[in-house]
Amino acid sequence: MEIPNLVFSVWVFSIYLCQCRNGVEGSHEVYRNLQSVETPQISIASTENRTGYHFQAPKNWINDPNGPMYYNGIYHLFYQYNPYGATWGNIVWAHSVSTDLINWTPLDLAIYPSKPFDINGCWSGSATILPGNKPVIMYTGIDKQNQQVQNVAFPKNLSDPHLEEWIKPDYNPLMAPTPANGINPSSFRDPTTAWLGPDGHWRVLVGSQMETRGMALLYRSKDFVHWVKAKDPLHSSNGTGMWECPDFYPVSENGMDGLDTSTMGKGIKHVLKVSLSVNKSGDYYTVGRYIHEKDLYVPDNTSADDATGLSYDYGRFYASKTFFDARKNRRVLWGWMNELDGEASDIAKGWSGIQSIPRAVWLDRNGQQLMQWPVEEVESLRGKQVSFHEQLLKKGDLLEVDGITASQADIEVTFHLPRLEEAEPFDPTWVNPQILCNQKGANVNGSIGPFGLMVLASDGLDEYTAVFFRIFKGQDKPVVLMCSDQSRSTLREEVDKTTYGGFVEVDLRYGKLSLRNLIDRSVVESFGGGGRTCITARVYPTLAAGGKAHLYAFNRGTEAVRISKLNAWSMRTPRMN
């Protein structure tokens, strides 16, 4: 559908920005100095760094995934999008559909500024399936007073299998900041998927803050029209800043199946995730108990309740959103990955931003952290395969994995470790894995490690991205460090080459440690320890682009490690918008 020019002429003066440069991510920060800047018209640019099988638009800027859902046999993904250029501006809800989460068809824009309650912007939100199998979207609008308010939209025609048109009732907004409720009108956004309590009342969370305290504000409703703010937040944490894009959902203590968002009871824990842009930006979560009688969430205290705690992903991954996939009884996670090569490059190539491969999410058997794994449908893209078994890697060994398309590949490898008594001692002051990975990069020899994979590598190794492990001897058990080292990923000076890291809480009693990498031209998604630790990197190789890319297994530790098995596949390109 075409958006009236009048709407955009009004809208352009105040709108939501999801801008990420120099490591700072703020998914709803308003850059007023840019609001009168016209976004350039850009044509599609074909570049070797454009991804082959990750979700992205044919051109232009995209950011937060919004309102993902499964409805009547169709997967829906909405996302923040600029129809007119590869830089921020003119943000709308774009809409694509799929039957397999891999092949995607674009539809007309779903939600865009058109009413007094969203005339200055349509920001992030979520989808809920109401009784009677009726989907509804709740989203943040920016009203005529530039306040953040919460609105709903409904499909115009439920018989339309693609739900292409959405209408906004005039009783919007449902929730608004007022002097009486004490809500900051510029810190009130990103409603979650709603859930239905045993008392028959709907509940939804909205991200907010009070001074430096991040909060998940709770609202209740009997009819999904009239909403009342609870006296206390569901949860809050001091010093965390604004809680963007909150997500709240149940997980089973007894298996990998996902649960409908309204499920609660025995054998169930809950996850609260927030996107933080203060200090170390990212998507952080805790696992805990939801006391529904009091509408209170209590973390288990097994992880810090701030940006030093558990993260979905320790690399470039933000503004994530999950949904319950009733088709396969799983919870599926999407996350946005921004570009790191600068705005001028975005304009030149004609696009900016991608979404992660959708991941299945479930609770680890230890009950303390989540597991994540690419949805099984991605395996349908696997093509030519090569395999290794029982391959010893001594110090300095570099083993090429040849015979596949190394720039667009899926690799699964299991390492067998030597005697852990030979590991370097772990210093208890090493609490920040990213700093540790910077200090002990891929070229710093250790005892057990660094060992892993060099991906998107050039002839002569002038360019490569190293994803690797190091094993340390802890006080009670081995400590596993996982790193994604981008320091030599490209010769381009303007690219952010941050090295990322995370600890892997994995049982090494049997000496096994696994790594999976999804390589896709300018993105490397890494899953360590069966999905206990995930790190996503954006890289922009020049010498190792396209058909010039190589893939290696390596070991630079003094102790030999053995590849028990390695399987690698070339990945085909699906139908992508």
Instruction: Indicate which CATH number applies to the domain containing 156.
Output: 2.115.10.20
* Residue at token pair 């802890």: 474
157-163 average pLDDT score: 97
Please choose, from the candidates 424, 487, 422, the residue with its C-alpha nearest in 3D space to the C-alpha of residue 454.
Answer: 487
The total of other beta-carbon atoms located within 10 Å of residue 105's CB is 14
pLDDT at 81: 94
CATH classification of the domain holding 447: 2.60.120.560
Is residue 388 located within the same domain as residue 324?
A: no
Q: Looking at the domain assignment, is residue 454 inside a domain?
A: yes
How many contiguous H segments (helices) and E segments (strands) does the chain have?
A: 3, 39
How confident is the prediction for the chain on average, in pLDDT? 92
479-502 average pLDDT score: 97
Q: Are strands 351-352 and 60-71 parallel, antiparallel or unpaired?
A: parallel
pLDDT at residue 46 greater than cutoff 70: no
The answer to whether 375 and 523 have CB atoms below 8 angstroms apart is no
Catalytic residues: 64
Q: Looking at the domain assignment, is residue 408 inside a domain?
A: yes
Q: Looking at the domain assignment, is residue 379 inside a domain?
A: no
Is residue 369 located within the same domain as residue 414?
A: no
Work out the pLDDT band at 43, boundaries 50, 70, 90: very low
Work out the pLDDT band at 279, boundaries 50, 70, 90: confident
Q: Which amino acid is at 194?
A: A
Is residue 208 located within the same domain as residue 287?
A: yes
The CA distance from 302 to 310, in Å, is 9
Is residue 346 located within the same domain as residue 486?
A: no
pLDDT at 100: 98
Which sign, positive or negative, has the C-alpha torsion 27, 28, 29, 31?
Answer: positive
Is residue 361 located within the same domain as residue 485?
A: no
pLDDT at residue 1 greater than cutoff 50: no
Q: Which residues of 147-159 are buried (b: 16+ CB within 10 A; e: fewer)?
A: bbbbbbbbbeeee
pLDDT at residue 29 greater than cutoff 70: no
Percent residues over pLDDT 90 in the chain: 89
Q: Looking at the domain assignment, is residue 55 inside a domain?
A: no
Q: Are strands 382-393 and 561-571 parallel, antiparallel or unpaired?
A: antiparallel
Work out the pLDDT band at 477, boundaries 50, 70, 90: very high
236-260 pLDDT, tens digit per residue, is: 999 999 999 999 999 999 999 999 9
Q: How are the residues of the chain apportioned to helix, strand and coil, as percentages rounded to the nearest 5?
A: 5, 45, 50
pLDDT at 33: 37
Q: Which residue, 339, 374, 409, sits at the end of a domain?
A: 374
pLDDT at 89: 81
pTM: 0.93
Q: Which of 41-50, 87-96, 124-133, 537-546 has the lowest mean pLDDT?
A: 41-50
166-211 pLDDT, tens digit per residue, is: 999 999 999 999 989 999 999 999 999 999 999 999 999 999 999 9
Q: Looking at the domain assignment, is residue 50 inside a domain?
A: no
Is residue 467 located within the same domain as residue 519?
A: yes
Q: What contacts 483, CB < 8 A, 6 or more positions away?
A: 433, 437, 440, 441, 442, 450, 466, 467, 468, 469, 470, 499, 500, 501, 535
449-471 average pLDDT score: 98
The CA distance from 338 to 340, in Å, is 7
**Position with higher pLDDT, 88 vs 501:** 501
Is residue 394 located within the same domain as residue 319?
A: no
Work out the pLDDT band at 399, boundaries 50, 70, 90: very high
Q: Which two tokens stand for residue 136?
A: 């509804």
pLDDT at 37: 37
- Residues constituting the chain: 577
pLDDT at 418: 87
The CA distance from 207 to 246, in Å, is 6
Residue 545 belongs to domain spanning:
384-571
Work out the pLDDT band at 4, boundaries 50, 70, 90: very low
The answer to whether 277 and 241 have CB atoms below 8 angstroms apart is yes
Domain count, the chain: 2
Is residue 304 located within the same domain as residue 434?
A: no
39-65 average pLDDT score: 78
pLDDT at 482: 99
300-311 average pLDDT score: 95
pLDDT at residue 28 greater than cutoff 80: no
Is residue 300 located within the same domain as residue 193?
A: yes
Is residue 323 located within the same domain as residue 467?
A: no
The answer to whether 418 and 559 have CB atoms below 8 angstroms apart is yes
Is residue 402 located within the same domain as residue 368?
A: no
pLDDT at 40: 42
Q: Which residue, 374, 402, 417, sits at the end of a domain?
A: 374
Work out the pLDDT band at 10, boundaries 50, 70, 90: very low
Q: Is 399 helix (H, G, I), strand (E, B) or coil?
A: strand
Is residue 471 located within the same domain as residue 342?
A: no
Q: Which residue, 318, 346, 374, sits at the end of a domain?
A: 374
Please choose, from the candidates 196, 191, 150, 155, the residue with its C-alpha nearest in 3D space to the C-alpha of residue 171.
Answer: 150
Q: Which amino acid is at 271?
A: V
Q: Looking at the domain assignment, is residue 203 inside a domain?
A: yes
Q: Looking at the domain assignment, is residue 15 inside a domain?
A: no
pLDDT at 26: 42
Q: Which of 85-94, 320-329, 452-461, 505-514 has the lowest mean pLDDT?
A: 85-94
DSSP 142-154: E-TTS-EEEEEEE
Q: Looking at the domain assignment, is residue 577 inside a domain?
A: no
Write phi, then psi, for 382 (nearest 5 degrees): -65, 135
pLDDT at residue 14 greater than cutoff 80: no
The answer to whether 28 and 16 have CB atoms below 8 angstroms apart is yes
422-443 pLDDT, tens digit per residue, is: 999 999 999 999 999 999 999 9
Q: Are strands 244-252 and 268-276 parallel, antiparallel or unpaired?
A: antiparallel
The CA distance from 473 to 476, in Å, is 8
